[in-house]
Copies of this chain bind each other. A is one copy, B any other.
Amino acid sequence: MADSKNPLSEVRERIDSIDRQIQELIAERAERAREVARVKGEGLSAIDYYRPEREAHVLRMVVDRNNGPLSDTEMVRLFREIMSSCLAQEDPLKIGFLGPEGTFSEQAVRKHFGHAAYALPLGSIEEVFQEVAAGHADFGVVPVENSGQGMIQVTLDMFLTSEATICGEVELRVHQCLHSLSGNLADVKHVYAHAQSLQQCKTWLRLNLPGVECTAVSSNAEAARMARADEQAAAIAGESAGKIYGLKTVAKAIEDRADNTTRFLVIGRSLFPPSGNDRTSLLVTVNDKPGALYDVLSPFAKHGVSLNRIESRPAHTGKWQYAFFIDVSGHIDEGNLKEAVAEIRPSVASLRVLGSYPVALP
A12 to B243, CA, bound (A): 42
* Known A27-B70, A58-B16: A136·B102 in contact at CB below 8 Å: no
A89 nearest CB neighbor, chain B only = B69
* Known A78-B82, A85-B74: A15·B33 in contact at CB below 8 Å: yes
Q: Which of A17-25, A185-193, A339-347, A349-357 lies on the face that meets chain B?
A: A17-25
* Known A25-B21, A94-B243: A8·B39 in contact at CB below 8 Å: yes
- Is A303 interfacial (CB 8 A cutoff)? no
Find out whether the CB atom of A23 lies under 8 angstroms from the CB atom of B103.
Answer: no
Beyond the given pairs A27-B67, A70-B89, 4 more chain A to chain B contacts, judged by CB atoms under 8 angstroms and listed by A's residue number, are: A15-B29, A22-B29, A23-B65, A26-B78
A36 nearest CB neighbor, chain B only = B11
Find out whether the CB atom of B26 lies under 8 angstroms from the CB atom of A120.
Answer: no
Cβ proximity bits A44-70 to B, threshold 8 Å, 1 near / 0 not: 000000000010001001100111111
Nearest 10 A-B pairs (CB), nearest first? A102-B102, A101-B102, A136-B246, A74-B85, A120-B244, A18-B29, A30-B69, A30-B70, A22-B25, A118-B244
Q: How far, in Å, is A140 (CB) from chain B's closest CB?
A: 13
Q: How far, in Å, is A3 (CB) from chain B's closest CB?
A: 13
Residues from chain B with Cβ under 8 Å of A88 in the complex: 74
- Is A81 interfacial (CB 8 A cutoff)? yes
